[in-house]
């Protein structure tokens, strides 16, 4: 029986840990230790962690693992409406599309707390403590495989920055999230994620979700540092974050203000502020002579939430690593195997990185041509919106100027113009 330790009880660590235990029938070939820095009750009582939109392919992985516990409660996200606005509060263009498979957003406090309980119910062992890099050598020495599924508290720095895949050295956005009850549904598109971009200022997202107290709406601000949306550096609480949000919406996105005017925060932990420096780290670290740890999910690949890929990428990582572990049989999990397991996941993750880097900068000319065409041609809008579910599809057109223009020429019957 192999001894496996997983540091981090988030989307990726818990998905993998539960997969290693199987159904809890006693047939697992693995003795699994999970290290969590919070108990289920502490997680539920804490603050929100992300917006965690899960698209169809990632949801299918959860469903196959029997982890889709909220399908009967969580509102479905059926599509997306993308609006470009210009100050003061004027719509420049807009388009929308229906997702081929609906998405969901389940508050990670709700999800990970229940998964953590499920892991213990199935015989998994949990140590509730915070780990530092200094703790990793002993942990790795005591286990056949140690996985790092958290970059918190400096743990990610153990892996080291991969400069070749990390073009950013500072956050590109200042972030603010608040969960709300009482947001009115959009009169025409009630089940869709709504994203408004104000060029040179930032973005606002509104999406249906499920939280501890039931269905809700999540607002997320992505502010260019130093701009008018960047109003969160003092880490306001939920009520103040909502008050500032309403002020900004009234000026820049009045159509969203009308829907949110009577909203209130869902709970005392309903606000999150901060900033993310997107980074790709090396997947394997030698923490003591001959003792290695394998990084996973956002401990290795950390994207800005603007691209909407964090939890999706985590689910894919857990699935790929689970298959690699099961395929290994009784052979050792040496560092060569670790690099191979990461390479399998990187085939998915690299496309999320490329898309994430694309959306953080002003769009290149060919992408602007795609967005302009999407506002007039539903088939372009549909293809663009559904790319969020699996950014690998963007490789064949959106991320390549020549292919993008060839696609637009085929749709429009003429070369595209800005």
Among candidate residues 229, 258, 275, the one where a domain is terminated: 275
Tokens of 350: 């690299």
Give the model's pLDDT for residue 216. Answer: 98
Q: Do 242 and 297 lie in a common domain?
A: no
Domain that holds residue 374: 363-412
Contact 126, 115 (CB under 8 A): no
What integer pLDDT is reported at residue 414 of this predicted model? Answer: 83
pLDDT at 27 (0 to 100) = 56
Residues 222, 323, single domain; the answer is no
Residue 29 and residue 134 in one domain = yes
Confidence (pLDDT) at 418: 65
Number of domains observed in the structure of the chain: 3
Shared domain check, 177 and 30: no
13 and 154 part of one domain:
yes
Residue 417 inside a domain? The answer is no
For residues 150 and 299, the answer to whether their CB atoms sit within 8 Å is yes
Pair type for strands 279-280 and 90-105: unpaired
Distance between CA atoms of residues 245 and 257, nearest Å: 9
Q: Are residues 246 and 352 in the same domain?
A: no
Residue 164 and residue 240 in one domain: no
Q: Which residues in the chain land under pLDDT 50?
A: none
Per-residue confidence (pLDDT) for residue 54, from 0 to 100: 97
239 and 213 both lie in a single domain: yes
Predicted local distance difference test score (pLDDT) of residue 188: 82
**Per-residue pLDDT at 416:** 77
Q: What's the whole-model pTM score?
A: 0.95
pLDDT of residue 145: 98
Task: Tell the residue number behind the tokens 């539903």, with chain if given.
Answer: 378
**Do 382 and 350 share a domain, yes or no?**
no
How open is the CA angle 284-153-285, to the nearest 5 degrees?
10
In a domain, 44, yes or no: yes
Do 44 and 85 sit in the same domain of this protein? no
Report the pLDDT value the prediction gives residue 88, as an integer from 0 to 100: 86
In a shared domain, residues 14 and 132: yes
């Amino acid at each position: 029986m192999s001894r496996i330790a997983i540091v981090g009880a988030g989307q990726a660590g818990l998905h993998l840990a539960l997969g290693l235990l199987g159904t809890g029938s006693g047939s697992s070939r693995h003795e699994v230790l999970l290290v969590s820095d919070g108990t289920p009750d502490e997680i539920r009582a804490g603050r929100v962690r992300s917006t965690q939109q899960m698209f169809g392919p990632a949801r299918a992985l959860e469903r196959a693992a029997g982890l889709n516990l909220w399908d009967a409660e969580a509102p479905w996200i059926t599509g997306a409406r993308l609006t470009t606005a210009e100050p003061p509060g004027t719509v420049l263009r807009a388009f929308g599309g229906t997702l081929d498979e609906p998405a969901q957003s389940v508050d990670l406090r709700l999800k990970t707390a229940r998964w953590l309980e499920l892991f213990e119910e199935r015989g998994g062992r949990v140590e509730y403590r915070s780990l530092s890099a200094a703790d990793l050598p002993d942990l790795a020495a005591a286990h056949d495989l140690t996985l790092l599924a958290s970059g918190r508290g400096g743990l990610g720095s153990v892996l080291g920055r991969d400069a070749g895949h990390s073009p950013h050295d500072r956050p590109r956005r200042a972030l603010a999230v608040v969960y709300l009850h009482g947001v009115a549904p959009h009169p025409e598109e009630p089940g869709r994620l709504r994203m408004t971009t104000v060029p040179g200022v930032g973005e606002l997202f509104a999406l249906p979700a499920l939280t501890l107290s039931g269905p809700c709406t999540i607002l997320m601000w992505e502010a260019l540092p130093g701009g008018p949306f960047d109003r969160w550096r003092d880490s306001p609480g939920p009520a103040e974050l909502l008050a500032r949000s309403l002020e900004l919406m009234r000026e820049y996105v009045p159509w969203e203000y009308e829907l949110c005017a009577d909203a209130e925060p869902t709970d005392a932990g309903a606000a999150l502020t901060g900033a993310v420096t997107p980074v790709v780290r090396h997947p394997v670290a030698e923490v003591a002579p001959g003792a290695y740890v394998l990084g996973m999910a956002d401990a290795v690949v950390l994207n800005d939430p603007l691209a909407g890929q964090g939890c999706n990428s985590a689910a894919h990582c857990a699935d790929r690593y689970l298959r690699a572990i099961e395929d290994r049989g009784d052979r050792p999990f040496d560092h060569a195997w670790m690099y191979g397991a990461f390479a399998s996941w990187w085939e998915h993750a690299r496309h999320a990185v490329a898309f994430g880097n694309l959306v953080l900068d002003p769009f290149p000319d060919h992408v602007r041509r795609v967005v302009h065409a999407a506002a007039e041609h539903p088939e372009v809008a549909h293809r663009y919106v559904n790319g969020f579910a699996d950014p690998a599809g963007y490789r064949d057109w959106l991320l390549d100027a020549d292919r993008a223009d060839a696609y637009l020429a085929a749709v429009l019957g003429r070369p595209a113009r800005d």
